[in-house]
Amino acid sequence: MHPLHSVPLPSGAFDYGILAAVSGGADSVALLHLLVHSLPTKGKLAIAHVNHGLRGADSDADAAFVKSLSEEYQLRYFEHRIATDSTTLSENTARNFRYDFLVRQAEQIGFRYLATAHTADDQTETVLHRILRGTGLAGLAGIAPSRTRTPAVTLVRPLLHVRRETIVSYLESLGKTFRHDKTNFENHFTRNRIRNELLPMLRKEFNPQIDEALYRLATLAAEHESVLPELLDGPIEAALLEESPERVVLNVVPLLRFSLPVLRKILIHVWQRHNFPQREMDYEQWSALSELLRTSGGRLAFPGGITAERVQNRLVIFRRPLGK
């Protein structure tokens, strides 16, 4: 038996339904085969494919291949073609379109889980990419094994611990074919240059185990981030005066005893608890927010329409109404 013969899934996942995102590449085809192999008699599994149309006939052939897999396994198949000019569709925009469709489709058919085929290689590439861009500790955690996308849908990544070479070996052992995306070898995108140029150079010139080192770094960073909420909830609750989805008010007095680095972590956790936009917040902005808490007064605007104001012994953080 091949060492890759099962995937970790949430308890009872097939009872709640799993929508597998299948591109046709080796990773997603292996994920599908493993899910089918694990499927109990009355389990719920379906396939979704997003056709970006970026590679013309090759994209259509990918879709046809994935549809043939759904017919082979007698699974429901959902396809979405993005009607966007391929010359203007960025990598990030394409990813957002893809996830919007996948999550919406899972909700429409009443499935709780959306499974994607991110691998350990994706994890190491992500961590290295973030290091190059100047990430913080949270960014070093890389790709999470699971993530709540909406109240009804949770994204799971069962292959995140598996190297790509293991996946290809698994498919070869089964005699299963998969599609090759030629654009993975084109270095227009930074991610491809990291995969095709930087990582091979690091393996050859600096550390043959660089992939394992980066994966271990991500694991340690994720463990660090996972314990923070239980450490930070106490100070936040002691300072909390008012809380709603759009507004939070903190008493600054019990928070002034903390150092600036701890204050930053507390305020980041407050931000996360309220689902305030976080993507465009950087080190300087978190530091400015922390310094505002320690001053006698002031007001700052942050990305995503968030305003913070120090009024007497209170720090008020609120979402500005649209148009203001």
Q: Strand runs (DSSP E) across 91-203, as ranges? A: 113-115, 146-150, 153-156
pTM: 0.84
Nearest to 9 by CA among 114, 98, 109: 114
Predicted confidence band of residue 279 (pLDDT cuts 50, 70, 90)? confident
Q: Virtual CA dihedral for 167, 170, 174, 177, nearest 10 degrees? A: 20
Nearest to 304 by CA among 265, 282, 278: 278
Predicted confidence band of residue 90 (pLDDT cuts 50, 70, 90)? low
Q: What is the largest CA-CA distance in the chain?
A: 70
In the chain the domains, ranked by start, together with CATH numbers, are: 13-213 (3.40.50.620), 245-319 (3.30.465.60)
Fill in the amino acid letter for 241.
L
Measured CA to CA, the distance from residue 247 to residue 276 in angstroms comes to 10
Confidence (pLDDT) at 89: 54
Confidence (pLDDT) at 136: 82
The residue length of the chain stands at 324
Predicted confidence band of residue 301 (pLDDT cuts 50, 70, 90)? very high
Q: Are 174 and 33 in contact, with CB atoms under 8 Å apart?
A: yes
